[in-house]
Structure 1
């Protein structure tokens, strides 16, 4: 272990000198974006390994944010990536909220605050039964009723209170809220096409998918930065969870349509040296 740390530290010094020579007005530029990404990715890998040694070999567990802040001060690395690399064996269960009347009618909900219907309440109870067999230390949720009600049923099994986070809310799509997909394409076809294919699309009344991804990843980073000894449940919405899955799998955002996320489904993600999806869209607890 010591020899590996020493070797990586020496390699780090070389990589860091390359990075620093390309920073600043009077110094040379990167030869290409690919060169910059390659060097910085290697720096992140080296840093994460050395940090894990520091954190886990110390007799006193250190605050991960303090370590990250110290590293960023001198090494200029990405905060979220460092946080992910400091976490050891954290499992997060991503849960899409149980169904509502609008889900049954297949119309867009966005941030309209629609509560669960009778079928949704039954789904939430089955979710709670599923998680009751696991070890859950925290439940986070979107503040919208359909998500909070789902989270509350799960949290009750562990005498927990759901923690609402605005960054877990659904995408703002007020331009076509209350419409079916057919109606959306008939009335706002061009706007929908631009929004669904261009992650940075700027359309009045519609949040860009890139913006959704940024805030959802921020929410997960905050959860990772406040670790508990047990697993974590995060209840959110279809588009929000899809954006997170694309980020985890490093998929282009428009590819989010290539997989399903049913109401009351569970997707498990392990966060260790990197996030890994263990299973996707599991609904076996619903018995349907």
Structure 2
């Protein structure tokens, strides 16, 4: 992971270099640091901690980021940029209404929104009768694309040729009219964070656009402009970021991406014209977190991988299997642990019944393969070292954030094993691609949340210090697309998707903890 050097101390924020960095300590990502050299940006890896102060004290904050619904220019395939000529289509209004219903159980203190009509209208629909402070923020406008704005995509390709090709293939270095739009956007996103986190509210709603939402998420967890188009944002997709104070005296908060691009529609649904949700692909890896066991408390750790799923876990597995019925599965890989195997079996059984359930004209027989790399990760040793601390710190992410000095060897071994698992998965995907008799190139991986997070971090090319910057719930799915094939770069379509769990899903905004609980 490349993170640029800190440039300036922002109002109400104190960014400090960590004195505890050992390569395994997971810290909050720096939001505000870019170094320009000549016409290129150089990113140098460095870990910082972010001190967030509001109203004179530390506060836990949850920021929910939503993209606007489908617009008229989305539907036409026209480049919008920061222009303000498009409005929501009827479908876009329906998407916004669905998002409102998805967030119905959630409470917000304030809503920041882009002043552009398509985002402003989306914010109005989502907030509806809520008596929220609505703050239009100009820096939340969409990416400035200058001469590209207003052109149909096919017109842009014809008129600008090489420049349009660079926009598609190397956006971080794309230049037009003397500007680097993506680099400018990343700087603007950092300015947005300064304003958003300075607000006294603890539950904050942000409604904006595709590119700027990507930049907000990426800068929050320390990723540079080279990650543009890697963390997808669909129309009305919801992403959630937690900023949590340390429970240790004089400690520092950390930032965790709780979910990415939870959409009104299923992420399994094929791409259709006008969706504007990334490139079409036939190669995917879907990371499935197994169902809950009786030994897993919310956010905690299992006492045994051989524990059976409880009733909630059984429901979660069945709901996940139903969601994946819309996908022709090529292979199911799972860890050798009992609970992962049972979740995998639920998925395979529903695939086999595809004809009876009306999803296909024939049964789909999918082989389950136990993948030793997913189990042989020294996880039991790490579990034993973390178990006694979970009660003190909360989720295991807090444990790794606040007290991993004595875990370096174990954690490094786990990280290396996760890398081996990632390499095996991409090889499996490549083998399916070579096998002409197997047109389904969708690989399902069933394992524990921390194992799936380790795999995800390797997919993104991050350091092990990033592993606690992500959260997955039991029963969730995360989808990685490979539009350029298994040897190409992975694109995260969604992370910690739980909408398919219905009433059993975790609310997007959990009730904020009282200050005395920290």
What TM-score do the two structures reach when normalised by structure 1?
A: 0.66
Q: 1:254 to 1:161 in 2, by over 3 A?
A: same
Is 1:82 matched up with 2:30? no
Write the distance in 2 (CA, Å) between the matches of 1:274 and 1:84: 13
The residue aligned with 2:177 is 204
> Separation in 2 of the partners of 1:131 and 1:240?
21
- For 1:178 and 1:169, how far apart are their aligned partners in 2? 16
The answer as to 2:186 corresponding to 1:213 is: yes
1:225-262 CA distances to partner (integer Å, 9 max, x unpaired)?
11214x11101111111112221233331222223211
Aligned to 1:101: 72
Structure 1: tracts of 5 or more residues without a match: 1-33, 47-78
Which structure: greater strand fraction? 2
Distance 1:155 1:87, change over 3 A: farther
After TM superposition, give the deviation of residue 43 of structure 1 in Å. Answer: 4.4
Structure-2 change in CA distance of 1:281 and 1:84 (3 Å): farther
What are the equivalent positions in structure 2 for 1:29-178 lying under 5 Å apart? 43-45=16-18, 81-83=50-52, 87-113=58-84, 114-178=86-150
Cα distance in 1 for partners of 2:258, 2:83 equals: 31
Q: Deviations over 1:7-35 (max 9, x none)?
A: xxxxxxxxxxxxxxxxxxxxxxxxxxx9x
Query: Which protein, 1 or 2, shows the higher relative CO under an 8 Å CA cutoff with sep ≥ 6?
Result: 1
> Any idea what SS the aligned residue of 1:123 has?
helix
Greater mean alpha carbon deviation, residues 84-93 or residues 240-249: 84-93
Distance 2:225 2:16 in 1: 26
Structure number with the higher helix fraction is 1
2:66 touches 2:239 (CA, 8 Å); kept in 1? Answer: yes
Quote the RMSD (CA, aligned, Å).
Answer: 3.2
TM-score (norm 2): 0.38
User: Runs of 4 or more off by more than 6 Å in structure 1?
Assistant: none
Distance 1:277 1:270 in 2: 6
Q: Contact between 2:73 and 2:79, CA under 8 Å: does it hold in 1?
A: yes
* Contact 1:147 1:235 survives alignment (8 Å): yes
Change (3 A) 1:105 1:43: closer
Is the 8 Å Cα contact of residues 171 and 228 (structure 2) preserved in structure 1?
A: no
Q: Aligned-pair distance for 1:270? A: 0.6
1: CA distance, partners of 2:101 / 2:111: 15
Distance in 2 between the 1:141 and 1:246 partners? 18
The aligned residue for residue 277 of structure 1 is 257
SS of corresponding position for 2:148: coil
> What secondary structure sits across from 1:82 in the alignment?
strand
Q: CA deviation at 1:107?
A: 1.9
Q: Aligned partners of 1:87 and 1:220: how far apart in 2?
A: 16
Deviation at residue 192 of structure 1 after TM alignment = 3.3
Whole-angstrom distance in 2 between the partners of 1:263 and 1:199:
22
Partners of 2:49 and 2:128 in 1: how far apart? 31
1:255 aligns with 227
